[in-house]
Structure 1
């Protein structure tokens, strides 16, 4: 029997995320990202389509690599302005019962002690539906504005992230016993102090000596996602991730990345088949293939070539405006997101990638394939990706928010249900139960090492 296709909705609290310039389309309401009603509507749409999660991306600095200034990013609304992704989650959880929420938060600019409480709080309020997309942040502008003189080098950010994970695992898994909260009115005891202990962490980057502030949530550790596909990123994902987000345009490239991370998981002593993989995918669907092609052409007419280059310049930490627009891009080590550099150089040798070609190619769906067609055509392509790339589902982007997600739910999901490829009703109470069948981390996960041993 074919495995179920897992679906995540992909958004950022901004007007220009993966599709740059399309906020100008008359059907787009991306500018409503500032309104709570917009996010609750998105959550209801995705839950109606039985999506596993809404994945909310984030950026912690303005995109100023292109031309050495922020002007193009501001004109095209490229990830600036942007709001905090954590804050709408409680409201979205209040209008849904099953949809999970995977939120991007950087280990480089958070303190693990305070962050652990934030995520436990969200796991309490969502009743176990929270996930965390672990990033180390690549933007030089984020470093300048968040207390650093310059960006920490790429591999050192991952070394710091390793210790960050150790600290939050201790806080989530090892500080409070499951039965610490006794709430005994007769004895006048809310928490039994003998069942709570300090973590006493003394490391290179962090010192956290005391008890966790929050009592354990149903999942304790949130479901862990990661998106890095550099050598350091893959090793980190192999150790920690339960879900892995991919950016690649070809099934062969996706399969290589899946194999790379699974090998890292196996080397870390984990079952590689316990990890789930989700490529970014943009879907433009209509009742017929011809109508879908016309819709795509309409969308493409609003795409900004220069705005797309501003986004990718920041991601790769290469000023594409300084290069010959028609000269092939060569791979270089950067302190940016190396997987993005590899995406347009070493990982796909069948294409010649120039800055101009990149800008045109990513206009409607930056980061992954753009599937255009009728519900049957789109479903065929999704099934092909599942088989050829060895992935578990897709991060469905929305180039004309929220119309893209609504179209997918109204047109593609019924076709996938007819084929038995997506569920009609949710299974499991928590987000992790849909991944592993249990609310708590698996025994082969590094977080489990820190569990309070009775």
Structure 2
């Protein structure tokens, strides 16, 4: 029986601090160089050397101002502030690699779909089909206020808006230009055949568009679609649209429950269970010996900031944990932010003390520490018992965390037959699914291919 291959993304952000907070202060950490091209191109080369499927770049448009009702700790510990645009990193990293994919987080409610469609198509051209989009709907009230709104709209309404946004994008990416619209015929002086390019006219509950897609068809047309919501509404959205889903799971049983629910909903939406690849966030500290790994873990813990992690979690749940004593019961209630984060904390009955223990490394993802063999065995167990497909590997001390994984763990995974020894496929989608560059026919986006004006809604 062929063993399931492990998929890997490096999980990162165009900022100093990301998930495991406080480690920017470690003397070997170079994350303060996040605003230089060399930092990102060097990382891209390392990841490609390790045959990573992609780099998954998170983003936010607001600030973490729930904890202590201020941004003081956020600024002191650089809790995802400052944060630069993730999209602008792609061209530089693509220029020094040939196969590495790029999953870029962009808020679906942050800009008009027409201009966003062109930006993504441009990157799909420049990367030769290596671009993915992590669809988020926002969860920070500070972000809503920053862009002129009174506050964050209701949780499910944000997904309703994203549904309308995606319908516009599918029409632009899949339906505005025929595959053979571009002739580039110098003798006939015809670059694009006017009969094979059509405007998109859309009148939806949130968006109205009347215009042509400005980019000719790229390799993938629609980028690989990532999504990270696991609330009830988020799961329905993912089941319909997502090709890769990023989930948070504290253990393998939780991962298995989420994976099964997602795949069942995908089938109910007319798709196949394996049309969705499921990634779990995880942190890894490898060493050539167990003693070396454990010493490194203790060293990292000395620089980590559990309180910064708690401030991050406050923003995720909308709860100011600074108001509670270490063992006070916490009123979680209903969240308008990340519902799955609140539900998990409520289910576990976490107190502030519990949360600080969970956030010892500054982040809340499972931590695996040990020899390459031990780590490889644990990752295999997550794949098999958790019924997932791969991992978003969170950074700790950078770049050594990724270099150590590539040098120490990847060869062992390859020896076990659980990790590729060479890249395959032409595009990011083809490498992930081995089924071509374009959306499969059973994906809702495929239904908008070659729309005629008469078939457009509105």
TM-score (norm 2): 0.96
Deviation at 1:330, TM superposition (A): 5.0
Aligned with residue 443 of structure 1, among 404, 419, 441: 441
How many residues end up aligned between the 2 structures?
A: 450
Would you say 1:86 and 2:84 are equivalent positions? no
> Is the 2:47–2:406 contact (alpha carbons within 8 Å) kept by the matching residues of 1?
yes
SS at match of 2:340: helix
Offset from partner CA, 1:79-110 (integer Å, 9 cap, x none)? 00111000010000000000000000001112
Deviation at 1:152, TM superposition (A): 0.9
> Is the 1:176–1:452 contact (alpha carbons within 8 Å) kept by the matching residues of 2?
yes
Q: Distance in 1 between matches of 2:48 and 2:351?
A: 40
Instruction: Tell me what 1:165 maps to.
Output: 166
> Is the 1:20–1:363 contact (alpha carbons within 8 Å) kept by the matching residues of 2?
no
Deviation at 1:71, TM superposition (A): 0.4
Deviation at 1:191, TM superposition (A): 1.1
Would you say 1:398 and 2:395 are equivalent positions? yes
Structure 2, unmatched stretches of 5+, are 453-458
Deviation at 1:317, TM superposition (A): 1.3
Instruction: Tell me what 1:40 maps to.
Output: 41
CA 1:133 to 1:319, structure 2 compared with 1: closer, same or farther past 3 Å? Answer: same
Within-5 A mapping of 1:303-382 = 303-346=304-347, 349=348, 352-364=349-361, 366-382=363-379
Q: Distance in 2 between matches of 1:330 and 1:395?
A: 31
Within-5 A mapping of 1:230-245 = 230-245=231-246
Instruction: Tell me what 1:2 maps to.
Output: 3
Q: Distance in 2 between matches of 1:235 and 1:434?
A: 25
Instruction: Tell me what 1:106 maps to.
Output: 107
Q: Distance in 1 between matches of 2:401 and 2:346?
A: 30
Q: Distance in 1 between matches of 2:293 and 2:171?
A: 50
Deviation at 1:331, TM superposition (A): 4.2
Q: Distance in 2 between matches of 1:342 and 1:401?
A: 31
Deviation at 1:430, TM superposition (A): 0.5
Offset from partner CA, 1:2-43 (integer Å, 9 cap, x none)? 100011100011111111111001110010100100000110
Structure 1, unmatched stretches of 5+, are none
SS at match of 1:96: coil
SS at match of 1:405: helix
SS at match of 1:321: helix
Instruction: Tell me what 2:427 maps to.
Output: 430
Deviation at 1:305, TM superposition (A): 2.2
SS at match of 1:88: helix
> Is the 1:282–1:365 contact (alpha carbons within 8 Å) kept by the matching residues of 2?
no
Q: Distance in 2 between matches of 1:90 and 1:75?
A: 31
CA 1:133 to 1:153, structure 2 compared with 1: closer, same or farther past 3 Å? Answer: same
Q: Distance in 1 between matches of 2:420 and 2:30?
A: 29
TM-score (norm 1): 0.97
CA 1:252 to 1:365, structure 2 compared with 1: closer, same or farther past 3 Å? Answer: farther
Q: Distance in 1 between matches of 2:163 and 2:41?
A: 34
Within-5 A mapping of 1:24-39 = 24-39=25-40
Q: Distance in 2 between matches of 1:46 and 1:303?
A: 24
Offset from partner CA, 1:243-273 (integer Å, 9 cap, x none)? 0001111111111111121122111111122
Deviation at 1:66, TM superposition (A): 0.5
> Is the 2:308–2:362 contact (alpha carbons within 8 Å) kept by the matching residues of 1?
no
SS at match of 1:92: helix
Deviation at 1:333, TM superposition (A): 1.3
Offset from partner CA, 1:310-348 (integer Å, 9 cap, x none)? 1110111111112233234454211111111123232xx
SS at match of 1:343: helix
Would you say 1:184 and 2:182 are equivalent positions? no
Q: Distance in 1 between matches of 2:67 and 2:362?
A: 20
> Is the 2:304–2:362 contact (alpha carbons within 8 Å) kept by the matching residues of 1?
no
Would you say 1:225 and 2:222 are equivalent positions? no
